[in-house]
């Protein structure tokens, strides 16, 4: 840049007139020179219209050189819009990427800012069309141009109509601006040229560069007016919506500010009256907590009423504490808080395998449940109910599901609950009212979608205060629990996001309508092998950790664990086994606490010293060593078990005596078994006189335990035939099945539990009804292979198996 240019720049570079502060200005100027060749300034985001003045920033070396050349020679420049990624300085073809129609402009001011940027203030002259681009050796881009004259239609009614419509729309847009400009409105009203009006309005619309270029390209006046009107109509619609939104926002903020001001005034009045501020402060604290809780509309209206009541109460009144407790509960409930589900099927499978050994069928069903929930989170999934003996891991399965879903876990024990209010809550009509168990546990969970375990559902009671099982019908119904009504809350609470899981030991005591709302998943007992693996993988390590011991100080050999399982525990679950392992570990802890190194590995022969003599004896051989004793299989809430049926004969008149705390159904089975024996006496080789002159006594030992059910029919019949034919029943055979008076063997339930009990008791052969063959797949593979399972359809087949080889 030469000295002349520097001098001109310095004269125009003043802080008060910095180019960044210059906005669009409408200027009416006289005729300007229009040379055939002009310097070209490529613009990336700037489009100038004729007669308008606006600031321009240039940064390309070629454009800077062109602007300086034009400034020195007092010549106009041409502004052409280019593509955003176009760089004219590096293009091999001059003008590549530039539009062909632009605006010629005079440079009114050239300013170089302290940071090195080049600012121009340009006034538009007229449109031009490029005929040919030129580029000199110094990198300046110029062009031969054709200047486009604006048409001046006078008396054209179509143009006048478009012009009036555009002017009115432009004035409305100015009124809708945040800061309406009277000067701009006056300038718009004073314009008499349709072409100038279209260009001026387009310059103030805030359009994108490509949209401005479309207007600049419109040489035809009517087309240009229509295009500007189209863009302005869209802009007007946006401005109207924006103003409406702003007004609504300001109205809401104004209402909030008005309430805050009134509350402050109320506090000031209370201070002037000398009243205690604690009530007002407490009300304000509760109001803020309730606002943060984001209550639904109905609940928010209820709490607003209670807040107004609280503000008028004295804190010394009993009702004050009741209302405050209610509002604190409402603020702490998770009305809008949800845990974010993170369900990964592979990870969920790994979590279930990590927490539980075996239970493959149950794990598969849980994974199916999780997969459906992942694919359709809004679906109405069934309520799962785990049914099984104590200690088989029902509660821990629920914890694993919660961990797999990344949800909170809460557990409510329903054992002994006999009042409906314990589920639905108490009405707030007396001191001491409380919410129900469902709402209380959700408050502890802190989220509206925890995994909620309803434990011991089969132990619900009923009383004059209502039936809690009926109250649970609404809780466990997916189509109703989105508006659960707790009497204490007084407003509906949405339970539809909660994943409920129920547990029970037996299904018989659960009411039918409640059982119908759940999908029952049976969790049976464990085999000896499964118990051994669980003890090795979980129970021993947990007991050592709780006692603060290591494996070197105390370890339990596999043979010792097997002895524990067979000689000290007989159960479907693991609780007794866990207690015995804990006793062994505590015995070792005493030695370590005394400064001794510890017992090391516990051998089977050490169990008698630590735990005492064996607690489980094998009574089968001893019991069945005489005629009239058979081994049956029973199902109990604690799992499967074996039972012995003993029959004895004494001289008499054919009377039947039944003892052993048998229920009515089992007594009827004994009567049916004796009638069947009498009817088939000839086929069995039994003299009728012997039956008529003998009294029969049937006894089932463990007389302190109640027993009932029809499945002992085969065992009763076998014991009677053994007694009356003086043939012993095989010691390694156990049986189950209901009988009819025609001698048919009918199906029973609990096949898996009963076969597990037989396997644990050392039974080799098990007789099952033929119609239970379909249940064989439920029996674990190792138990199935260890037992000789015989299916019988008639009592004759059972007698042939049970009494074979015992003559």
Tens of pLDDT, residues 747-806: 998 888 888 888 878 888 999 999 999 988 888 888 888 899 999 999 999 999 998 765
**Has residue 660 got a pLDDT over 80?**
yes
711 a catalytic residue? yes
* Per-residue confidence (pLDDT) for residue 25, from 0 to 100: 47
The chain-wide mean pLDDT, for the chain, equals 83
Instruction: Compute the distance between CA of residue 83 and CA of residue 660 in angstroms, rounded to an integer.
Output: 100
Closest alpha carbon to 767 in 800, 735, 730, 799 = 735
Instruction: Compute the distance between CA of residue 329 and CA of residue 331 in angstroms, rounded to an integer.
Output: 5
Supply 371's token pair. 């997969």
- For range 382-400, the mean pLDDT: 88
* Per-residue confidence (pLDDT) for residue 572, from 0 to 100: 78
Let me know if 366 is exposed, middle or buried by CB neighbors in 10 A (0-12, 13-18, 19+): buried
**Has residue 744 got a pLDDT over 90?**
yes
* Per-residue confidence (pLDDT) for residue 715, from 0 to 100: 93
Instruction: Count CB atoms within 10 A of the CB of residue 215.
Output: 23
Helices (H) and strands (E) in the chain, counts: 30, 25
Residues 6+ apart with CB under 8 A from 325: none
- For range 401-415, the mean pLDDT: 90
pLDDT in tens, 122-150: 999 999 999 999 888 777 899 999 998 88
Q: How many residues make up the chain in this entry?
A: 807
* Per-residue confidence (pLDDT) for residue 60, from 0 to 100: 84
**Of 351-360, 552-561, 712-721, which gets the smallest average pLDDT?**
351-360
Please report which confidence band the pLDDT of residue 584 belongs to, taking 50, 70 and 90 as the band edges: very high
Position of tokens 């702490």? 332
Instruction: Compute the distance between CA of residue 632 and CA of residue 161 in angstroms, rounded to an integer.
Output: 106
- For range 733-757, the mean pLDDT: 90
- For range 727-748, the mean pLDDT: 91
Specify the 3-state DSSP secondary structure of 715.
helix
> Could you tell me whether strands 765-769 and 788-792 are parallel, antiparallel, or unpaired per DSSP bridges?
parallel
Question: Alpha helices, DSSP H only, in 476-574?
Answer: 512-516, 528-534, 540-547, 558-563
Supply 205's token pair. 């619309």
Query: Burial letters for 672-686: b for 16+ Cβ neighbours within 10 Å, e otherwise?
Result: bbbebbbebbeebeb
Instruction: Count CB atoms within 10 A of the CB of residue 619.
Output: 13
* Per-residue confidence (pLDDT) for residue 768, from 0 to 100: 94
Instruction: Compute the distance between CA of residue 270 and CA of residue 267 in angstroms, rounded to an integer.
Output: 5
**Has residue 497 got a pLDDT over 50?**
yes
Strand partners, 642: 633
- Kind plus residue range of the DSSP H or E element containing 695: strand 694-699
**Has residue 9 got a pLDDT over 60?**
no
Instruction: Compute the distance between CA of residue 317 and CA of residue 330 in angstroms, rounded to an integer.
Output: 21
* Per-residue confidence (pLDDT) for residue 590, from 0 to 100: 92
* Per-residue confidence (pLDDT) for residue 620, from 0 to 100: 59
pLDDT above 70 coverage of the chain, percent: 90
**Candidate list 437, 669, 711, 722, residue with the active-site label:** 711
Instruction: Compute the distance between CA of residue 377 and CA of residue 121 in angstroms, rounded to an integer.
Output: 61
- Kind plus residue range of the DSSP H or E element containing 472: helix 468-475
Residue 772 has what DSSP assignment?
G
* Per-residue confidence (pLDDT) for residue 452, from 0 to 100: 92
- Kind plus residue range of the DSSP H or E element containing 279: helix 278-293
Contact 639, 524 (CB under 8 A): yes
Rg (CA), the chain: 47
**Has residue 91 got a pLDDT over 70?**
no
The torsion defined by the Cα of 105, 106, 111 and 116, in degrees rounded to 10, comes to 40
754 a catalytic residue? yes
**Of 230-234, 252-256, 398-402, 610-614, which gets the smallest average pLDDT?**
252-256
- For range 75-97, the mean pLDDT: 73
* Per-residue confidence (pLDDT) for residue 753, from 0 to 100: 83
Strands (E), 355-479: 383-387, 409-413, 451-455
* Per-residue confidence (pLDDT) for residue 138, from 0 to 100: 77
Specify the 3-state DSSP secondary structure of 607.
helix
Supply 20's token pair. 């960044």
- CA distance readout (Å), 608 to 539, 547, 571, 584: 21, 22, 20, 11
- CA distance readout (Å), 697 to 689, 694, 708, 717, 730: 17, 10, 18, 13, 21
**Has residue 17 got a pLDDT over 50?**
no
Instruction: Compute the distance between CA of residue 82 and CA of residue 88 in angstroms, rounded to an integer.
Output: 9
- The backbone region for 95, taken as left when phi is positive above 0, alpha when psi lies in -120 to 50, beta otherwise, is left
Please report which confidence band the pLDDT of residue 469 belongs to, taking 50, 70 and 90 as the band edges: confident
Instruction: Compute the distance between CA of residue 239 and CA of residue 244 in angstroms, rounded to an integer.
Output: 9
Higher-pLDDT residue of 278, 802: 802
Instruction: Compute the distance between CA of residue 55 and CA of residue 53 in angstroms, rounded to an integer.
Output: 7
Please report which confidence band the pLDDT of residue 409 belongs to, taking 50, 70 and 90 as the band edges: very high
- For range 191-218, the mean pLDDT: 85
- CA distance readout (Å), 775 to 44, 80, 356, 625, 754: 80, 86, 24, 32, 12
- For range 672-701, the mean pLDDT: 88
**Candidate list 363, 497, 728, 754, residue with the active-site label:** 754
Instruction: Compute the distance between CA of residue 518 and CA of residue 662 in angstroms, rounded to an integer.
Output: 32
Strand partners, 643: 632
**Has residue 274 got a pLDDT over 70?**
no
**Has residue 1 got a pLDDT over 60?**
no
């Amino acid at each position: 840049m030469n000295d002349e240019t520097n001098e001109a720049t310095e004269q125009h570079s003043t802080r008060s007139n910095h180019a960044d502060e210059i906005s669009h200005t409408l200027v009416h100027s006289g005729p300007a020179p229009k040379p055939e060749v002009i310097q070209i300034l490529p613009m990336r985001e700037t489009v100038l219209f004729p007669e308008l003045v606006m600031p321009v920033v240039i940064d390309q070396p070629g454009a800077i050189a062109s602007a300086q050349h034009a400034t020195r020679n007092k010549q106009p420049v041409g502004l052409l819009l280019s593509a955003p990624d176009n760089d004219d300085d590096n293009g091999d073809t001059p003008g590549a990427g530039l539009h062909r129609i632009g605006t010629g402009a005079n440079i009114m001011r050239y300013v170089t800012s302290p940071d090195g940027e080049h600012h121009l203030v340009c006034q538009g002259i007229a449109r031009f069309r490029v005929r040919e681009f030129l580029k000199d050796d110094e990198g300046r881009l110029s062009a031969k141009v054709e200047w486009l004259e604006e048409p001046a239609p006078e008396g054209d009614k179509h143009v006048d109509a478009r012009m009036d419509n555009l002017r009115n729309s432009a004035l409305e847009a100015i009124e809708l601006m945040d800061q309406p400009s009277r000067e701009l409105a006056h300038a718009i009203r004073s314009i008499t040229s349709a072409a100038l009006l279209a260009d001026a309005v387009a310059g103030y619309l805030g359009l994108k560069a490509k949209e401005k270029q479309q207007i600049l390209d419109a040489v035809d006046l009517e087309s240009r007016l229509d295009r500007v009107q189209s863009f302005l109509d869209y802009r007007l619609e946006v401005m109207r919506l924006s103003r409406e939104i702003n007004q609504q926002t300001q109205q809401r903020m104004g209402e909030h500010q008005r309430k805050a001001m009134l509350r402050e005034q109320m506090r000031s009045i209370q201070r002037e009256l000398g009243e205690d501020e604690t009530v007002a402060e407490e009300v304000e604290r509760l109001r803020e907590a309730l606002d943060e809780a984001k209550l639904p509309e109905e609940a928010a209206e209820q709490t607003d009423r209670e807040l107004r009541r609280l503000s008028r109460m004295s804190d010394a009144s009993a009702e004050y504490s009741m209302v405050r407790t209610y509002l604190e509960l409402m603020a702490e409930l998770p009305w809008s808080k949800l845990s974010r589900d993170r369900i990964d099927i592979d990870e969920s499978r790994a979590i279930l395998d990590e927490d539980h050994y075996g239970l493959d069928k149950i794990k598969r069903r849980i994974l199916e449940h999780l997969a459906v929930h992942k694919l359709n989170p809004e679906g109405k999934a069934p309520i799962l109910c785990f049914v099984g003996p104590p200690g088989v891991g029902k509660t821990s399965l629920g914890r694993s599901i919660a961990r797999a879903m990344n949800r909170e876990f809460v557990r409510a024990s329903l054992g002994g609950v006999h009042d409906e209010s314990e589920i639905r809550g108490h009405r707030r009509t007396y001191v001491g009212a409380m919410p129900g168990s469902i709402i209380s546990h959700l408050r502890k969970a802190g989220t509206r979608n925890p995994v909620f375990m309803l434990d011991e559902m089969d132990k619900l009671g009923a009383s004059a205060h209502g039936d809690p099982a009926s109250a649970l019908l609404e809780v466990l119904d997916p189509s109703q629990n989105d508006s659960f009504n707790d009497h204490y809350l007084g407003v509906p609470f949405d339970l539809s996001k909660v994943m409920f899981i129920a547990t029970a030991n037996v299904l018989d005591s659960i009411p039918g309508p409640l059982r119908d709302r759940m999908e029952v998943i049976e969790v049976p007992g464990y085999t000896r092998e499964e118990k051994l693996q669980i003890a090795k993988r979980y129970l021993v390590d947990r007991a050592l950790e709780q006692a603060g011991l290591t494996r070197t100080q105390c370890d339990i050999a596999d043979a010792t664990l097997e002895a524990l399982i067979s000689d000290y525990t007989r159960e479907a679950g693991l609780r007794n086994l866990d207690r015995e392992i804990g006793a062994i570990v505590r015995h070792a802890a005493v030695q370590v606490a005394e400064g001794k190194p510890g017992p090391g590995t516990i051998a089977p022969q050490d169990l008698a010293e630590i735990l005492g003599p064996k607690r489980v004896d094998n009574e089968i051989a001893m019991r069945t060593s005489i005629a009239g004793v058979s081994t049956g299989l029973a199902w109990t809430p604690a799992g499967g078990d074996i039972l012995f049926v003993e029959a004895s004969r004494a001289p008499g008149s054919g009377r039947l005596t039944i003892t052993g705390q048998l229920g009515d159904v089992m007594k009827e089975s004994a009567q049916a078994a004796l009638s069947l024996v009498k009817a088939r006496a000839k086929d069995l080789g039994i003299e009728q006189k012997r039956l008529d002159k003998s009294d029969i006594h049937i006894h089932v030992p463990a007389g302190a335990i109640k027993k009932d059910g029809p499945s002992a029919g085969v065992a009763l019949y076998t014991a009677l035939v053994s007694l009356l034919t003086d043939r012993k029943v095989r010691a390694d055979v156990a049986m189950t099945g209901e009988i009819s008076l025609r001698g048919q063997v009918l199906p029973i339930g609990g096949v898996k539990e009963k076969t597990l009990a037989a396997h644990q008791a050392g039974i080799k052969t098990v007789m099952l009804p033929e119609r239970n063959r379909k249940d064989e797949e439920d029996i674990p593979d190792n138990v199935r292979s260890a037992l000789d399972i015989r299916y019988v359809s008639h009592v004759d087949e059972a007698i042939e198996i049970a009494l074979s080889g015992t003559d």
